[in-house]
Structure 1
Amino acid sequence: MNTVTRPRILVVGAGFAGVDCVRRLERKLAPDEADVTLVTPFAYQLYLPLLPQVASGVLTPQSIALSLRRSRKYRTRIIPGGAIGVDLKAKVCVIRTITDKIVNERYDYIVLAPGSVTRTFDIPGLTEHAFGMKTLAEAAYIRDHVISQLDLADASDDPAERAARLQFVVVGGGYAGTETAACLQRLTHAAVQRYPRLDPGLIKWHLIDIAPKLMPELGDKLGRSAQEILGRRGIEVSLGVSIDKAGPEEVTFTDGRVVPTHTLIWTAGVVASPLIATLGAKTLKGRLAVTAEMCLPGHDGVFALGDSAAVPDLAKGQEGAVCPPTAQHAMRQGRKVADNVIATLRGQQMQPYVHKDLGLVVDLGGKDAVSKPLGIELRGVPAQVVARGYHWSALRTNVAKARVMTNWLLNAVAGDDFVRTGFQARKPARLKDFEFTDSYLTPDEVRARVEGAGIDHP
């Protein structure tokens, strides 16, 4: 008997890019046309822009974790783990499963959408003492931690300890850092009313960034508006400043200030997943250099997109321009890559990715927001309507939309709850404990492992 093997399509990553790619493949491919496999540690797509609202308790974690198994045409095989290396010549992806088992997965076509990890620098104590804001576990953990600082400060009779526990430092003046500081400040401001022994004046939030402007992508006017909103709330914004060193009970700024604190949240940008470094391919500022069709030059059947790929931004019309690592680009790139994979399978012409940026939204909590849809500058309630309307419409499933809308309405009517859910054990967890960036192989280790498994290079 002749056994016909269907082409194997392997998608790495279940972020905006990877999930939209898989969904498009499921809809457009015939059941017997190809096998689709997705590599991801979790069987959900995380709606990353709403993480600060999970950290502040406005939204529940489940509401922004969109199950991958709800698709009506669900037929993708999911490998629960993370890709830690790829041998492009042998067409093998090395995967570490959630049980730490290492497996070699063959493919005919691979779509690399591993996303990004938190960008860190060689700052003493940073990875040991800072929290990140990149995963659902981190957001839930930070909420527990912030509330625990209020509990511990309320119970303490030491004025110095009480003051230190009520100071919070957020590094990063981009969207993630600004929204995180704004949302968590609202949480502590509301919570302190339930702690009669605490002086509200002791609660201090610091937002710092080495850049000279807050969220420069929004433009000068909206950036200043956001800074004014934060200032009115009592958040001290320091620009042109970063961290010199971090300790368990204090943080030293580069301008010499020493801030006693037990809470350092690091959101100073992202870099491409370490998986990209295992390929031995050309990169552009750490992101994989690809064509406008999102193909890797010199390697048939290899596609890359999202945060880990430097996709040319043809809509800008500027030579060398690449798409920013935003959700709106990642989702559309995912669908375009799926179309190009199918076109390759069927011997058809691939199409380049072109998308004009729709604008930016920043939700500062409550009635405060700044937005720039289609170049129109908005502030206050109109900006908030646009921001939440955009996020709500971008949620992939109706179940997620219903949960998020219910959470928003409930929070608006009933206010916040200040309950620790148990994520914070006696042993603290920090930045280095959540993203597992030390799990990846080197190109030589990938090659040795593939050859050791008896897989020949063509």
Structure 2
Amino acid sequence: MAPTSQFLDRPRVLVVGGGYVGLYVALRLQKKIANAGGIVTVVDPLPYMTYQPFLPEVAAGTIEARHAVVPHRKHLRQTELIQGSVTSIDHKSRTAVVAPADGGEHFELPYFDVVVAAGSITRTFPIKGLAENGIGMKTIEEAVAVRNQVLDRIEAASIETDPAMRQRALTFVVVGGGFAGIETITELEDMARTAAKQNPRLNVAELRFVLVEAMGRIMPEVTQPQSEWVIEHLRSRNIEVLLNTSLASAVDNHMSLINMPDKTVAQEFDADTLIWTAGVQANPMVRSTDFPIDPRGRVQVGADLRITGEFGAIQNAWAAGDVAAVPDLTGGGVAGFCVPNAQHALRQAKRLASNLWASRFDKPLTDYKHKNLGAVAGFGEWKGVANIMGVGLKGWPAWLAHRGYHGLAMPTFERKWRVISDWFISMFTGRDTTALLDLDRPRAAFRAAAGPAPKPAAKSAAKSADAPADASAPAKEEVPVGAK
């Protein structure tokens, strides 16, 4: 039996995904739908929404990881929450199939309206070694893992005597020259420099950061002069910027880079850390629905955010965010559609909620139209670039604009204050460069303590010729390294 049987007799607004769009749609509709006798249901495998623009700062230690997420249960008090994944949707019968996150039996969920807000996943390519040795920067778990990886490799390198292994540990590669890649590599370089200065066995000059971008420029969201300034800024921090370059292989952490488009060998070297930020793609779950899908795998929608097919809008079916091909009525979008970013997703969610509620009373729907206000990016403490309504900023003014915009855009007042508090504290205490190790093996210490006691080391048969052993002295047992 489905775990929502108590709501089966209430008209349901099913929200597929609890990210930007799902969270705001539920926040805007939960009270209205409940007062009208219905229920808003959010299905997501995670119990929180992640504010992805903060992931580089989480990885670099200026924002606490839990403060960059918005817990569903704390803020969606009048919403039915199901931790699981929608695996298919049959809109003709108004039912969806849900797979519980704990691996339980799949069940069907009826609905009246459906909002497809499944977001996007990292876009990858079939590069040998990438799946085994790379990591993305799309989830809060990835940001925490990257942080621990960088700090762990710095510490390991400080006691490494093999020069080649030492350099491998201190080499960090980021693939992708968009906002995510640039913010990631600059924030991590800032943190790594701080961590290296705290370790007397290391020299900051030993750190190597490499940015790999297949196109001829970085950060297409800013102007060409700003993009060129960013490259100069990165290189002034000894970050290698390799344009028109692609990753060909990462087998055994050996990076093989090729020039584009002729695919000749550019560089080869070893690196323990490979971070992939080369774009996103619509969540593939939408292919298991009866909704029209565009060539890029996104749900087709009209400007009013209703899912739209060959014969017009599909009643009671809505979509927005990265998973939807939303027309950009301002004319500034790529190929006529809104670009997949947080700015559009947050605003589309609010428009979708208003239109869905209006449709209940047969009121006119309003098209989504929002001119991109620009872009802001932080490059570490007091460094950044911004393009706000055509006004270019760089350095500390851009850094302040970045924090101001995202501080306001972070959902819920409670989460805003937590993030702002993190920033305020870090201004006086600096970055937190503490690594939390063994998060993937949390029971390792307990297993070692609860397992069989280590056997004592065998006594040496050889005795010193000039200091014979005292037969009356008790035998001395060797203690394993690390034992207390």
What TM-score comes out, normalization by structure 1 length? 0.89
Residue 200 of structure 1 deviates from its aligned partner by: 2.1
Residue 325 of structure 1 deviates from its aligned partner by: 0.8
Which of 103, 115, 118 matches 2:107? Answer: 103
Partner amino acid for 1:275? Answer: M
Residue 365 of structure 1 deviates from its aligned partner by: 1.1
Partner amino acid for 1:83? Answer: V
Aligned-pair RMSD on alpha carbons?
2.0
Instruction: Give the Cα separation in 2 of the matches to 1:17 and 1:179.
Output: 23
C-alpha distance after superposition, 1:109-136 (max 9, x if no partner)? 1000111000001111111110100001
Instruction: Give the Cα separation in 1 of the matches to 2:281 and 2:194.
Output: 34
Partner amino acid for 1:77? Answer: E
Which residue is 2:475 aligned to?
Answer: none
Q: Determine if the alignment matches structure 1 residue 60 to structure 2 residue 79.
A: no
Structure 1: 4+ residue segments shifted above 6 A: none
C-alpha distance after superposition, 1:242-268 (max 9, x if no partner)? 100112332111132112101000000
Residue 412 of structure 1 deviates from its aligned partner by: 2.0
Instruction: Give the Cα separation in 2 of the matches to 1:318 and 1:325.
Output: 10
Aligned length: 424
Residue segments in structure 1 that go unaligned for 5+ positions in a row: 428-458
C-alpha distance after superposition, 1:20-46 (max 9, x if no partner)? 111111254452342110011223221
Which residue is 2:477 aligned to?
Answer: none
Which residue is 2:17 aligned to?
Answer: 13
Which of 334, 337, 351 matches 2:366? Answer: 351
Which of 275, 299, 303 matches 1:292? Answer: 303
Instruction: Give the Cα separation in 2 of the matches to 1:320 and 1:263.
Output: 35
Partner amino acid for 1:283? Answer: D
Q: For residue 123 of structure 1, give the secondary structure of its aligned residue in structure 2.
A: coil
Q: Determine if the alignment matches structure 1 residue 85 to structure 2 residue 88.
A: yes
Q: For residue 78 of structure 1, give the secondary structure of its aligned residue in structure 2.
A: strand
Which residue is 2:413 aligned to?
Answer: 398
Which residue is 1:74 aligned to?
Answer: 77
Instruction: Give the Cα separation in 1 of the matches to 2:10 and 2:95.
Output: 16
C-alpha distance after superposition, 1:31-66 (max 9, x if no partner)? 234211001122322111010000111111111112
Asked if 1 retains the 8 angstrom alpha-carbon contact of 2:167 and 2:206, the reply is: yes
Partner amino acid for 1:405? Answer: I
Which of 52, 56, 67 matches 1:48? Answer: 52
Q: For residue 43 of structure 2, give the secondary structure of its aligned residue in structure 1.
A: strand
Which moves more between the two structures, 187-196 or 95-104? Answer: 95-104
Residue 13 of structure 1 deviates from its aligned partner by: 1.1
What TM-score comes out, normalization by structure 2 length? 0.84
Residue 5 of structure 1 deviates from its aligned partner by: 4.1
Which residue is 1:230 aligned to?
Answer: 234
Q: For residue 117 of structure 1, give the secondary structure of its aligned residue in structure 2.
A: strand
Which moves more between the two structures, 37-46 or 134-143? Answer: 37-46
More contact order relative to length (CA 8 Å, sep ≥ 6): 1
C-alpha distance after superposition, 1:171-193 (max 9, x if no partner)? 00000000000000011111001
Residue 284 of structure 1 deviates from its aligned partner by: 4.0
C-alpha distance after superposition, 1:330-384 (max 9, x if no partner)? 1111111111211222222222111111111011111111011111111111111
Which moves more between the two structures, 196-205 or 368-377? Answer: 196-205
Partner amino acid for 1:269? Answer: G
Asked if 2 retains the 8 angstrom alpha-carbon contact of 1:19 and 1:45, the reply is: yes
Q: For residue 350 of structure 1, give the secondary structure of its aligned residue in structure 2.
A: coil
Which of 215, 221, 228 matches 1:217? Answer: 221
Which moves more between the two structures, 376-385 or 303-312? Answer: 376-385
Change (3 A) 1:369 1:291: same
Q: For residue 399 of structure 2, give the secondary structure of its aligned residue in structure 1.
A: helix
Asked if 2 retains the 8 angstrom alpha-carbon contact of 1:171 and 1:209, the reply is: yes
Q: Determine if the alignment matches structure 1 residue 168 to structure 2 residue 179.
A: no
Residue 199 of structure 1 deviates from its aligned partner by: 2.8
Instruction: Give the Cα separation in 2 of the matches to 1:352 and 1:166.
Output: 50
Identical aligned residues as a percent: 35
Instruction: Give the Cα separation in 2 of the matches to 1:282 and 1:417.
Output: 45
Asked if 2 retains the 8 angstrom alpha-carbon contact of 1:8 and 1:36, the reply is: yes
Q: For residue 391 of structure 2, give the secondary structure of its aligned residue in structure 1.
A: coil
Instruction: Give the Cα separation in 2 of the matches to 1:319 and 1:17.
Output: 21
